[in-house]
Amino acid sequence: MNAPLAASQIDPALLEGLRALLGARVSTSESDRAQHGRDESRHAARLPDAVCRAMSTEEVAAIVKLCAAHDTPIVAYGAGSSLEGALIPLKGGVSLDLTSMNQILSVRAEDLDATVQAGVTRKQLNAHLRDTGLFFPVDPGADATIGGMAATRASGTNAVRYGTMRENVVNLTVVLSDGRVIRTRSRAKKSSAGYDLTGLFVGQEGTLGIITEVTVRLYGIPEVMAAATCSFPTVEAAVDTVIQTIQMGIPISRVELLDDRAIEAVNAYSKLTLPVTPTLFFEFAGSQSGVEEQAAIVEELAKGEGASNWRWSTDADERSKLWQARHDIHWAIRALRPGAKGWGTDVCVPISALAEVIREVRKETSQQSFGTTLVGHVGDGNFHLGMQIDPDDPAEWAKANEINDRMVKHAIRLGGTCTGEHGVGIGKMKFMREEHGEALDVMHLIKNALDPKGIFNPGKVLPA
Amino acid sequence: MNAPLAASQIDPALLEGLRALLGARVSTSESDRAQHGRDESRHAARLPDAVCRAMSTEEVAAIVKLCAAHDTPIVAYGAGSSLEGALIPLKGGVSLDLTSMNQILSVRAEDLDATVQAGVTRKQLNAHLRDTGLFFPVDPGADATIGGMAATRASGTNAVRYGTMRENVVNLTVVLSDGRVIRTRSRAKKSSAGYDLTGLFVGQEGTLGIITEVTVRLYGIPEVMAAATCSFPTVEAAVDTVIQTIQMGIPISRVELLDDRAIEAVNAYSKLTLPVTPTLFFEFAGSQSGVEEQAAIVEELAKGEGASNWRWSTDADERSKLWQARHDIHWAIRALRPGAKGWGTDVCVPISALAEVIREVRKETSQQSFGTTLVGHVGDGNFHLGMQIDPDDPAEWAKANEINDRMVKHAIRLGGTCTGEHGVGIGKMKFMREEHGEALDVMHLIKNALDPKGIFNPGKVLPA
């Protein structure tokens, strides 16, 4: 959505200070501000009063000190790919663009870790690692910055095997609200030395501090990778197959569910002829014999649940063909209804509750005027219902809102969460009390202790 | 060490309130107080003024409210197996014994999780799980309570494969310093819904809240387990073998190092004839072919580093024979010097620095009058130098202190931590500033926000 253009309200003294520090890397131009006022979500844009491009942790610290002295809000900006409005500067102020902090500072193959500046993207890191035999597994849809991924506790299709940013951040360099710089933790693989500040700053969405450097875990690239797809009579049968797979400890590297409507969308978009029925996409990794063994067990489990059409391959080209439908889903959904605005929901539930939540929401969405598709990181109990809304039809928005509300509350009742990987941002704040109860008050205590002036990303994550 | 006996200083009004609540489950007897004033560490005992045995979260909340109203310290007590004085009531007050809270509340096989009261021990949970094909992997040496393990962010030999309590706690029920009860998180496998309170309360050692219930992750018991032992010419050769194993992504389930002196100790204690040289103990798990494949690769790597004497077995009896030396180490070390007091250090470093830290400290310990042994969770870069000190020789204590100080500082300089798994308690507080720098101030901000009166385990974790 476009932001309403408005003149920058920045305090002239602050602007002068920022210019003295950053020169031409401060901007109040409309185009810069407009670019930094919107994300990939349905949330209304809002322009920052200025955009600052920082090159180092020291510069970030100096910017924060200046802003703090002028009680001016600061919102960190990375790839701009937030899906819940996390980067929209609701109260104006400074959008702190960290994309120029794109240096890979060190790769330590022996320790299986790497330290990068916050603006390095995941694809950039993996391209850099290409010759080492190592990789960084966390893979949200977008080529997000690693700082942004840490700030939202991102994950993706690899999480079922490798975990999320929670498990894959070793430590962070963070600028606090008074401009002090801390490192959250040592580089030791494990530690019992005090409070887990790394965990605290992963997922805080820029409300407690600005992440400027990230040390992440790396993994050896598996010797062999293989893919399979498989059609199921029902969503339940697919989910049961996944539950059994995980209970048996099969170290599956990816397992994604597409419902019949998502399959329809990719068939149309990519001219495929997949059976229009719930489908699982698998990836296996390991040694040759390990992969074959895994696949044979999973095939057996799937067939026990009535699956058909088991197709598999270890060949890279064939693999990407099998996964094509999954890869195309974003564009396929968009193509369903040109001009529509997409809304990707993001609940995550204990896997025992997954089929029930999906069944309920599909019952409801089957009666709507707008198209919906369902794609799930089903090994983690996380799925995205995509709704294609006419941006000019308030009745559709209201209905979509209703569907999302009901689905989220259902998920929370069954032990789940309002967001598996997109973050709270603006859109999920209204569910925080219901999900957390009085634990939300503890989050407020921490926010007030670490950012007493409330300059970091105000109006986000914690409802007032 | 025995505590100096002293009369209980408890406020009579508080005692009356506690008795009204708990009846005979409040005690001020010397024997109860003495039992709750000491742990397994070298730290001097200190008696609490009263011992309260709670049966439920509600009782814990009521006890906390009473103590808060009387500004009386509270220290949680589980199995009493702390190695750093975490449970010693430095400022007196109430020792809150949670061992009666020993109910396993639910096991959800489909979701691979279980919820237990804080006083359930790890062996109790695994015995309960026996028929489910599932297990809980975190295994510190002692049969600790799961609440205590969460509070100290414990780990053990399985951490190299399954992670520590940080990775294996799903959520916690916690009583706050004002008596309110929170649940830190949903049961979803992943979530981006706000600050990671689970992470914050795991490892806080009872200084931010009292953990009363814990939901932990469970895993399927592997089909096949196999063990191997292998002798190395040097510690470096052993460590290099482990580095290569982990880099290749071999999902090894355990790998433990015993140095030559530890081998000498177990040879003497268990009448074994192992070659007196650095030795690795491996455990492999998975399918039959997977285990054989893993073992073959590791054997190859070990031989490339000059290893000899590779012995392995998939038979359970033979396996436990191979691991006997590792299992016996605690008693073997004790037997080295009857009457001595053991001091188990606990640094953890990036694995690339492990050989160097071990080499330095072995150089120093080789010149001491007291015996030392080295046992390492080497896949995680964590090791325990055990020192057998004459309790009546201040010169030995001073020397041991010096050795530990130097080793910890060396570890911190190389990117490591003062404690890999024992916790800070009393003994590691002096290293916290050096390890964390200004991040320590953030820990203080959090402590002050969550426990403004300082009633929870005062004098621990954070140096004043």
> What is the rounded average pLDDT for all residues in chain A?
95
With a cut of 70, list the residues of chain B below it in pLDDT.
1-5
Q: Least CA distance to B247: which residue of chain A?
A: A220
How many CB atoms are located within 10 Å of the residue A331 CB?
12
Tokens of B86: 């975490």
Q: Kindly identify which residue of chain A lies nearest to residue B240, measuring between CA atoms.
A: A110
- Min Cα–Cα distance to chain A from B257, Å: 17
User: How many angstroms away from the CA of B238 is the closest CA of chain A?
Assistant: 14
- For residue A202, list chain B residues with Cβ-Cβ distance below 8 A: 196
DSSP B330-356: HHHHHHHSTTPEEEE--EE--HHHHHH
CB within 8 A of A386, min separation 6: which ones?
Answer: A262, A333, A342, A343, A344, A345, A372, A373, A374, A375
Q: Report which residue type is found at A253.
A: S
The token duo for A74 is 């600061």
pLDDT digits (tens, 9 = 90+) for A215-231: 999 999 998 999 999 99
Q: Which of residues 67-106 of B touch A (CB under 8 A)?
A: none
CB-nearest to A190 from B155, B176, B441 is B155
Please give the order of strands across the beta sheet that includes A279-286.
Answer: A308-313, A224-231, A279-286, A254-258, A372-377, A382-389, A341-344
pLDDT score of B314? 85
User: Taking CB atoms and an 8 Å limit, are B443 and A197 in contact across chains?
Assistant: yes
- With CA atoms as reference, report the closest residue to A95 among A43, A39, A161, A141: A39
Q: Which of A197, A137, A134 is nearest to A164 (CA)?
A: A137
Q: How far is CA A23 from the centre of its chain?
A: 33
**Burial environment of residue B402 by CB neighbours within 10 A (0 to 12, 13 to 18, 19 or more):** exposed
| Cα separation values, B60 from A93, A124, A139, B197, Å | 45, 50, 42, 19
Residues with Cβ within 8 Å of residue B312, at least 6 apart in sequence: B226, B227, B228, B229, B282, B295, B299, B322
* Residue from the list A108, A199, A419 with its beta carbon closest to the beta carbon of B192: A419
CB distance A9 to A49 below 8 Å? yes
List of residues 6+ apart from B65 with CB closer than 8 A: B178, B179
Nearest to B196 among A188, A202, A415 (CB): A202
**Cα B456 from Cα B72, distance rounded (Å):** 9
CB contacts under 8 A, A 7-46 vs B, are none
Distance between CA atoms of residues B147 and B149, nearest Å: 5
Q: Which residue has the higher pLDDT, A212 or A315?
A: A212
A196 closest CB neighbour out of B199, B420, B428 = B199
Whole-number pLDDT of residue B318:
86
pLDDT tens-place string over residues A1-43: 444 567 899 999 999 999 999 999 999 999 999 999 999 999 9
Q: How far apart are CA B39 and CA B144, in angstroms?
A: 12
* pLDDT (mean) for A226-249: 93
- Structure token pair of residue B233: 């010419």
Whether residue A287 lies within 8 A of chain B, CB to CB, comes out as: yes
The shortest C-alpha distance from B211 to chain A (Å) reads 14
* Residue in chain A lying closest to B109 (CA): A247
Q: Which residues contact A250 (CB under 8 A, 6 or more apart)?
A: A294, A297, A298
Quote the ipTM score. Answer: 0.96
Q: Average of pLDDT values for A400-405? A: 97
d(CA B131, CA B128): 8
Q: What is the pLDDT of residue A4?
A: 55
Q: Do B199 and A194 touch (CB under 8 A)?
A: no
The 10s digit of each residue's pLDDT in A298-348 is: 999 999 999 999 998 888 888 888 888 888 888 898 888 889 999 999 999
pLDDT, position B5: 62
Residues of chain A contacting residue B249, judged by C-beta atoms under 8 Å apart: 219-220, 222
Region A445-461 average pLDDT: 98
Q: Please name the helix (run of DSSP H) or strand (run of DSSP E) that holds residue B282, with its range, or none.
A: strand B279-286
Q: Do the chains contact at B194 and A247, CB–CB below 8 Å? A: no
SS3 B179: coil
Q: What amino acid is encoded at A48 in this protein?
A: P
| A and B: number of Cβ contacts within 8 A | 285
What residues of B are in contact with residue A153 (Cβ under 8 Å)? 190-192, 196
What tens digit of pLDDT does each residue of A176-205 get? 999 999 999 999 999 999 999 999 999 999
B169 membership: H or E segment, kind and range: strand B169-175
Rounded to a whole number of angstroms, the distance from the CA of B357 to the nearest CA of chain A is: 13
A440 at B interface, C-beta within 8 A: yes
pLDDT at A113 over 60: yes
The strands making up A181-183's β-sheet, listed across from edge to edge, are A104-108, A113-117, A210-217, A169-175, A181-183
What are the two backbone dihedrals, phi and then psi, of residue A177, each rounded to the nearest 5 degrees? -70, -15
Query: Tokens for A376?
Result: 């799930």
pLDDT value for A426? 97
Q: How far apart are CA B167 and CA B137, in angstroms?
A: 11
pLDDT at A209 over 80: yes
**DSSP tag of A171:** E
Q: Which tokens in the block code for residue A439?
A: 């634990």
H or E segment to which residue B108 belongs? strand B104-108
CB contact under 8 A, B195 and A445: no
Mean pLDDT of A73-89: 97
* Residue B4, pLDDT score: 55
Give the domains, in start order, of chain A with CATH numbers.
12-97 (3.30.43.10), 104-220 (3.30.465.10), 222-336 (3.30.70.2190), 338-453 (3.30.70.2740)
d(CA A6, CA A298) in angstroms, rounded, equals: 57
Chain B residue with the nearest C-alpha to that of A448: B449
| B224 shares contact with chain A (CB less than 8 Å) | no
Which chain B residues have a beta carbon less than 8 Å from that of A112? 246-247
Q: Is B184 on the interface with A (CB under 8 A)?
A: yes
| Candidates A199, A249, A417; nearest CB to B200 | A199
From chain A, pick out residues whose CB is under 8 angstroms from the CB of B133.
247
Nearest CA in chain A to B246: A220
Q: Are B97 and B52 in contact (CB under 8 A)?
A: yes
**How does DSSP assign B197-257, residue by residue?**
HHHHHTT-TTSS-EEEEEEEE-EEPPSEEEEEEEE-SSHHHHHHHHHHHHHTT---SEEEE
Residues 6 or more apart from A395 whose CB is under 8 A from it?
none
Torsion angle, CA of B458/B459/B461/B464, rounded to 10 degrees?
120
Q: Do A350 and B448 touch (CB under 8 A)?
A: no
pLDDT (0 to 100) of residue B1: 44
In a mutagenesis test of the B interface, which of A167, A180, A195, A421 is the best target, namely the one with the most B β-carbons within 10 Å? A195
Give the residue from A178, A181, A191 with the most B CB atoms within 10 Å of its CB, the best one to mutate.
A191
Tell me which chain A residues have a C-beta less than 8 angstroms from the C-beta of B350: 108, 110-111, 113, 187-189
Nearest neighbour of A293 by CB, restricted to B166, B187, B290: B290
Beta strands in A293-425 (DSSP E): 308-313, 341-344, 372-377, 382-389
